[in-house]
């Protein structure tokens, strides 16, 4: 039973776009890459529900791999790969259910 360690170094954070489908994950951070545009983007993602601590799950990829249908909280949003890349997540296994 993996427990959350204080340092994130040992945990694998992925960009949301690399998450395997139908795997639950938890958001670690929502950050801008570079420039003002992605800063705006990150903020907008936060406003629609992509906040640290929220559960996410990749539901589907469009034809040609993009866009991504992502379940966050109780909503589903379609994101581009570039947008999803702003969201860093940690995969949680079935045992990770409901951990605060």
Partner 1 sequence: MNALVADPLVALVGNPNCGKTALFNLLTGSRQKIANYAGVTVERKEGRLRTRSGRRVRVLDLPGAYSLRPRTPDEQITCDFVLGRLPDEPRPDVVVAVVDATNLRRHLRLVLALKRLGQPVVVALNMVDLARRRGLPIDGAALSRELALPVVETVGVRAGGAQALLDYLEREHAAAEPVAAPGDHPVADAIPLDEPAAATADMASVAADQHEVERILGRLGLAGVRADTPSDRIDRVVLHPVAGPLILAGTLFLMFQAVFAWAQPFMRAITALIAALAGLVATVLPAGPLASLLVDGVLAGAGSVLVFLPQIVLLFAFILLLEDSGYLPRAAFLLDRLMGSVGLSGRSFIPLLSSFACAVPGILAARTIPNARDRTVTILIAPLMTCSARLPVYTLLIGTFVPARTVGPGIGLQGLVLLALYAAGVGGAFAVAWILKRLRRGSALHPLQMELPTYHVPSLRNLGIGLLQRVEVFVRRVGTIILALMVLLWFLSSFPVPPAGYPGAAIEYSLAGRLGALLAYLFAPIGFNWQISIALVPGIAAREVVVGALGTVYSLAATGQDVAGQVAPLIARAWSLPTAFALLAWYVFAPQCLSTLVTARRETNSWRYPALMAGYQLALAYGAAGLTYHASRWLLGPA
Which residue ranges make up the site for partner 1 (CB under 8 A)? 30, 32, 36-49, 51-52, 59-67, 69, 71, 73-80, 82-83, 98
Which of these, 68, 63, 60, lies nearest to 86 by C-alpha position? 68
Give the span between the Cα atoms of 58 and 91, in whole angstroms: 11
| Residue among 10 and 57 whose Cβ is closer to partner 1 | 57
CB of 2 to partner 1, least distance (A): 21
| Residue among 12 and 47 whose Cβ is closer to partner 1 | 47
| CA torsion, ordered 45, 41, 63, 72, to nearest 10 deg | -10
Alpha helices in the chain, H assignment, sequence order: 35-47, 81-84
Q: How far is CA 43 from the centre of its chain?
A: 14
| Residue among 12 and 100 whose Cβ is closer to partner 1 | 100
CB of 58 to partner 1, least distance (A): 11
CB of 60 to partner 1, least distance (A): 4
| Residue among 6 and 63 whose Cβ is closer to partner 1 | 63
């Amino acid at each position: 039973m993996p427990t959350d360690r204080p340092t994130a170094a040992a945990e694998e954070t992925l960009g949301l776009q690399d998450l395997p489908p139908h795997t639950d994950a938890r958001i670690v951070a929502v950050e801008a890459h570079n420039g003002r545009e992605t800063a705006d983007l990150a903020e907008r993602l936060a406003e629609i529900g992509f906040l640290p601590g929220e559960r996410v799950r990749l539901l589907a990829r469009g034809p040609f791999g993009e866009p991504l249908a992502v379940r966050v909280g109780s909503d589903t949003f379609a994101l581009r790969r570039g947008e999803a890349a702003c969201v860093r997540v940690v995969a949680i296994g079935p045992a990770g259910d409901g951990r605060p």
